[in-house]
Amino acid sequence: MCGVFGIFGHEEASNLTYLGLHALQHRGQESAGIVSSNGQALNLFRDMGLVADVFTAEVISKLEGKSAIGHVRYSTAGVSKLKNAQPFMVTYAGGQLAVAHNGNLVNSDALRRSLEQSGAIFQSDSDTEAIIHLIARSKRSTLEERVVEALSQVQGAYSLLFLSEKKLIGVRDPFGFRPLVLGKAKSGYVLASETTALDLIEGELVREIDPGEMVVIDEDGVHTSRPFAAVRKGRCIFEQVYFARSDSTLFGLSVYETRKKLGIQLAKEQPAEADLVIAVPDSGVAAAIGYAQQSGIPYDVGLIRSHYVGRTFIEPQQSIRHFGVKLKLSAVRATLKGKRVVVVDDSIVRGTTSRKIVKMLKAAGAIEVHLRISSPPITWPCYYGIDTPSRKELIASSHSIEEIATYVTADSLAYLSQEGLGTAVNDPSAATFCTACFSGQYLTPLAVAPQ
């Protein structure tokens, strides 16, 4: 779970990268970083925390030059520490190089072991660092050739940005697990995880980077090549369900429209007798609107989300731990009192959030709570860049839907079917998507069997 943004050929490169990262903040809140190039040398700043906390005007002013890349991180591989914050920046035989990675490699342990045995010293726990070592060790003459040689040795999910003194490079893995788009700013070109970052900087979407494609942007413009044969069946369906921002166009689909369709489909498959449809904000809103539209049950606001929780949240002692969800969400008594409520959320992971929400709704006066989930049960961990826990912690991998309903204290609980999910993304069999978290069908070999 990460977001990347890069720009080439703009006077305000680091400022725009800051704004782009701001728009991608939902993709990672642990650390943020920017590397800029003034054509001669790279400059890096990264730290733990939210984009707005990490960067000050003074810091940005020191990141000079007309090109930059940035990264927001939520750890999937490697613990949450500054040494794992990206972009990584190195000096090697070919000059200076920075990298920002969204995704997760599945053969990084084996790569790391073999690199360490031949003398490589790693500075982080991140799987991304192996890519840098492979590039530095390549005997090829150009950066592009080195990148291709390095990536031909890695397996898994990557949407990667590289910045050298003179070039910005973007590469997407052959499966196309994670998104990456090419855009145009008022001057220069942009590469970003999601289109919402282009909207914020008043850029224009040019197109999605193809799975297996490499785009090189330099003084002469945009050059494209397809060094890796596209497999085209790995678009992460969970990006559409939960992870991406609703205002983005992702894999050619409006995320908002997809989520609304998920809700429509859910209402068709799993109706409920109720007075009111409410959403778990923010990610459940579009699906709840779709559910209300299809069912004819009025939509209203039953939960309010605080957007000011930030990173100051300290895991409190047991006696007040249940305040956690209340910091984020609060129930609207006026809407809920005496009502039979359908509450729509995008997913259940461990079940703890749903349980707290149902209790909160009942405490605020709801007489019945019918929980509807706009995706199928998550039963398998993700190894391609979404932070999901082990099977042991995924409630649906060891409990039936009835057992989960009892645990979360809902009057009824129902999920969207896998076919319904496919229908909502215009691909009924979901053949062009990775659905491993719902189906257990992983698209690459895994180093160890899913735990």
- Would you tell me which residues interact with ligand AMP (CB under 6 A)? 242, 280, 283, 345-354, 386-388
Looking at the Cβ atoms of 150 and 343, the one nearer to ligand AMP is 343
| Exposure string over 191-219, b if 16+ CB within 10 A, otherwise e | bbbbbbbbbbbebeebebbbbbbbbbbbe
Angle of CA points 239, 241, 243, to nearest 5°: 40
Looking at the Cβ atoms of 209 and 278, the one nearer to ligand AMP is 278
In the complex, minimum distance from the CB of residue 238 to ligand AMP, in angstroms, rounded to a whole number: 7
Q: What is residue 205's three-state secondary structure? A: strand
Q: Taken in order 227, 157, 431, 286, is the CA torsion positive or negative?
A: negative
In the complex, minimum distance from the CB of residue 329 to ligand AMP, in angstroms, rounded to a whole number: 9
C-beta separation of 447 from 127 below 8 A: no
Looking at the Cβ atoms of 12 and 346, the one nearer to ligand AMP is 346
Nearest to 74 by CA among 354, 317, 386: 386
Residue 2 is among the residues annotated as catalytic for this protein = yes
In the complex, minimum distance from the CB of residue 386 to ligand AMP, in angstroms, rounded to a whole number: 5
108-117 and 128-137 helices, crossing angle to 10°: 40
Looking at the Cβ atoms of 198 and 342, the one nearer to ligand AMP is 342
In the complex, minimum distance from the CB of residue 390 to ligand AMP, in angstroms, rounded to a whole number: 12
Report d(CA 26, CA 15) in Å as an integer: 19
In the complex, minimum distance from the CB of residue 309 to ligand AMP, in angstroms, rounded to a whole number: 13
Q: How far apart are the first and last CA of the chain?
A: 20
In the complex, minimum distance from the CB of residue 355 to ligand AMP, in angstroms, rounded to a whole number: 8
In the complex, minimum distance from the CB of residue 75 to ligand AMP, in angstroms, rounded to a whole number: 11
DSSP label of 72 = E
- Output phi, psi for 364, to 5 deg: -90, 5
Non-local (6+) Cβ contacts of 2 within 8 A are 27, 28, 71, 72, 73, 74, 76, 86, 100, 101, 102, 103, 193, 385
Report d(CA 434, CA 382) in Å as an integer: 10
* Token couple for 107: 């053969």
From the number of C-beta atoms within 10 Å of its C-beta (0-12, 13-18, 19+), residue 252 rates as exposed
Nearest to 6 by CA among 144, 98, 77, 133: 98
In the complex, minimum distance from the CB of residue 191 to ligand AMP, in angstroms, rounded to a whole number: 24
Looking at the Cβ atoms of 111 and 396, the one nearer to ligand AMP is 396
Report d(CA 300, CA 295) in Å as an integer: 14
Looking at the Cβ atoms of 137 and 399, the one nearer to ligand AMP is 399
Looking at the Cβ atoms of 17 and 354, the one nearer to ligand AMP is 354
Q: Taken in order 430, 435, 440, 443, is the CA torsion positive or negative?
A: positive
Looking at the Cβ atoms of 42 and 416, the one nearer to ligand AMP is 416
Q: Active site residue: 2, 236, 434, 437, which one?
A: 2
Rg (CA), the chain: 22
Q: What is the dihedral of CA 133, 139, 143, 144, to 10 degrees?
A: -100
C-beta separation of 236 from 384 below 8 A: yes
Task: Give catalytic residues, as residue numbers.
Answer: 2
